[in-house]
Structures are given as C-alpha cells and as structure tokens.
Amino acid sequence: MPPQKTSISEKLNRFSDHWNPRIVGELNNQHVKLVKFQGEFVWHKHELEDEMFLVIEGEFDMHFRDKVVSLTKNEFIIVPKGIEHKPVAKEEVSVMLFEPNTTLNTGNTVGNFTKSDLEKI
C-alpha cells in the first residue's frame, strides 16, 4: 500500500468519548493512537513499554509520585517504562500517543478504564 497522509483533526472528529484510545497508525511494532480525556485517570505503570504523550489540543497534568508536569498544545512527555504515572485534565484534552503495540492503556492496573481491544480508525 502506498503512503497516505492522515488528518489528525478528521480522526479526532470521529469520536467524543474519553479514555478510549483509537489506533490511527502503526510503524515498527509501535501504535500511533489518538485519545481524548478529561478528569483523572488511574495510577499505573508499564513494566516493559515507554510511552509518549503529545498534546494536540488542550492541556493536562502528568502526575508522578514525586512531581507534576504540566503540558499544553505542541508539548510532549515520554514516560519511561516502570515509572508510575497518572494523567489528569481539568478540561477535555486531545493527545497523540506513541507506544509499543503491546501496551495496555492501564498498564498494571486493570479496571474500569482498561481498553484491551482498540478500534482502528
């Protein structure tokens, strides 16, 4: 299949729910995902996978056990494997995620937020 461009805005307009990532691309055993969230997620960590969070619209705070990092549009953070974290957004935020295709969104904390079968859009 020849390379094709992807419109982030078009993909984000296809869903409105929170904490439910969608796969929008794949490369080198990595998923490119889009997600919208608002409120507090759960404390979790990924034993084997690093994650990258890139803010497309809005802002959020990434909580770590020893600090909070605030992110806004066009900023990103890489959370190394094994580091406990919790995203928190006062208002809705749209985020692009880059992570290995084995990554479970809630890592070691399985519960109501866990999404194990992600939709490809």
Give me the CATH number covering residue 38. 2.60.120.10
Has residue 111 been placed in a domain? no
Residue 120 domain-assigned (yes or no): no
Domain range enclosing 62 = 8-100
Inside any domain, residue 88: yes
Domain annotation covers residue 110? no
68 occurs within a structural domain = yes
pTM for this predicted structure: 0.92
Model confidence pLDDT, tens digit, residues 17-75: 999 999 999 999 999 999 999 999 999 999 999 999 999 999 999 999 999 999 999 99
Q: Which tokens is 6 given?
A: 């992807």
- How many distinct structural domains can be found in the chain? 1
Domain contains 114: no
What span, in angstroms and rounded, lies between the C-alpha atoms of 57 and 40?
17
Within a domain: 73: yes
